[in-house]
Amino acid sequence: MADLLEKAADIKKKLVERGEDLAARTGDFLENSIGEQIESRFEAPEITASPETGVWYKMPIEKGKAGDGSEYHIYIKKHRTRNLCIFFSGGGVAWDEKMAAEPVTGGRVVAGRPNYYWNNLRPFTQIMNINIGITESRRRNPFDTWNFAVITYATGDFHVGTDEMTFYDNEGQKEKLRFRGYRNFTESMQKVRELFPKVEKLLIAGDSAGAFATPALSPVILEQYYPEVEDVTVFSDSALLERADWSDTLHNVWHAPQQIADASHSENLTLDWYEALMKKEGKRCRYLYASSVRDYLLSSFQHDILTGEFKTNEEAQEDYFNRLKNMVEKMSALSQPVFFFLYDWKNPMLAGGGTIHTAVRQPQFYLPGPEGTTMAQWLNDAVHGIPGDAGRNLLS
């Protein structure tokens, strides 16, 4: 009987693996097909010496490098105003060899396998970076006439790394993950300053991993690149992961610049970086934060931190909700006012349930939230000196 049960379990395992393999192949095929369509028909052109207004361009950063060693670029859009948005893209995180060996692919996503971070910029990643949400080129977008610099992300280090890690992939091959986020950022900002030398209103924003980078790198932007700008708004959408090892990761894995690494002193890295930014810049900035209340993706990462299993479920989402509630209370007690936009949109395609991850570069940017306010309107009011809260009742 025991032998039969063992054989049955083995057969079930093989069937599951075959199903996952089929799903993975399907996912990779879909991603590659979409990437080919973008590359042939919709890919942003490389920037010229005289860029047209209102057109998204790809700007190669010669000294930049993605996590797998491939080329790096950012996206630029120019307008005639003196308003500038510097936007930090998201794309996961990696701080150990297990995570490094599981970069995002269409196949891993469809098969439900762990997919911790994007390790390169391929045609498909353009979908995540431009022409959606706040980067959409349509009249309904109050930020359509702003100048934009989208600092893309493919290094797994919250845009603050300067080192690299050796690891073995799932086939046992030796690979490198290049934590080059901070170097990519500084090389990019030199180009951004040249393109946009005169700025009156500055929005520094980011989503997901880029939302962590926003408070971390705002002091660098304000001190080294735009010290003369006084009208500044700082906005993070979806940055909450609590773990005891942040300081060690920053100092010994990513080797972030000392000022950025030393600011970490608690389990909540975002809170630490907002606190450090406020101490340095005070009332010069408006401070904004957004999150969905049961974020399916951040709850998966948090569950992985707690249990070693990358997945979300009702328990993980409730845990995230309680952590978010605590974070909002702590942010509200910082030395400068913080204004919040909280939301609870669901995606029926999410098998594990939960609420969506990020809204600022999603179609939901234009949907009325729980109190009837869109994120687009809330953010536009804030950058024009009328900040407020929306959705805090969702934490009651």
Q: What is the pLDDT of residues 136-147, one digit of tens each?
A: 999 999 999 999
> How high is the pLDDT of residue 124?
85
Q: Which residue reads 């996961």 in tokens?
A: 92
Range of the domain at 366: 43-395
User: pLDDT digit string (tens) for 148-199?
Assistant: 999 999 999 999 999 999 999 888 999 999 999 999 999 999 999 999 999 9
Asked whether 252 and 199 are in contact (CB, 8 A), the reply is: no
Whether the predicted pLDDT of 2 surpasses 50: no
Q: Is 1's pLDDT higher than 70? A: no
Is residue 280 included in any domain, yes or no? yes
Q: Is 3 part of any domain?
A: no
Q: Please report whether residue 30 resides in a domain.
A: no
Contact between 372 and 278 under an 8 Å Cβ cutoff? The reply is no
pLDDT band at residue 42 under the 50/70/90 scheme: confident
pLDDT single digits (tens) 49-106: 999 999 999 999 999 999 999 999 999 999 999 999 999 999 999 999 999 999 987 5
pLDDT in tens, 237-282: 999 999 999 999 999 999 999 999 999 999 999 999 999 999 999 9
197: which residues sit within 8 A by CB, 6+ positions away?
none
Q: Is the pLDDT of residue 114 over 80?
A: no
Please work out, in degrees rounded to the nearest 5, the angle formed at the alpha carbon of residue 163 by the alpha carbons of 160 and 164: 120
Q: What mean pLDDT value characterizes the chain?
A: 90
Token digits for 238?
A: 């979806």
Q: Model pTM?
A: 0.90
Per the model's pLDDT, the better-predicted residue between 302 and 106 turns out to be 302
Tokens of 96: 């150990």
Q: HSE (CB half, 13 Å, CA atoms) of 385? A: 4
> Which CATH number covers residue 188?
3.40.50
Tell me what pLDDT residue 21 has.
54
Residue 89 in contact with residue 153, Cβ under 8 Å?
yes
Centroid of chain to Cα 395: 23
What does the pLDDT read at residue 361? 97
Report yes or no on 269 lying in a domain: yes
Q: Partners of 390 in the beta sheet?
A: 341
Question: Above 70 in pLDDT, residue 11?
Answer: no
DSSP helix/strand/coil, 292:
strand
The two tokens of residue 271 are: 């809170």
CA dist 248 and 372 (Å) reads: 42
Percent of the chain past pLDDT 90, that is, above it, reads: 81
Domain membership flag for residue 27: no
The residue type of 13 is K
- Structural domain contains residue 37: no
Looking at the 3D structure of the chain, how many domains does it have?
1
Q: Is residue 64 part of a domain?
A: yes
For residue 138, being part of any structural domain is answered with yes
**What are the pLDDT digits (tens) for 27-41?**
555 555 655 565 455
Across the range 347-364, mean pLDDT stands at 90
Sign of CA dihedral 95, 99, 102, 105: negative
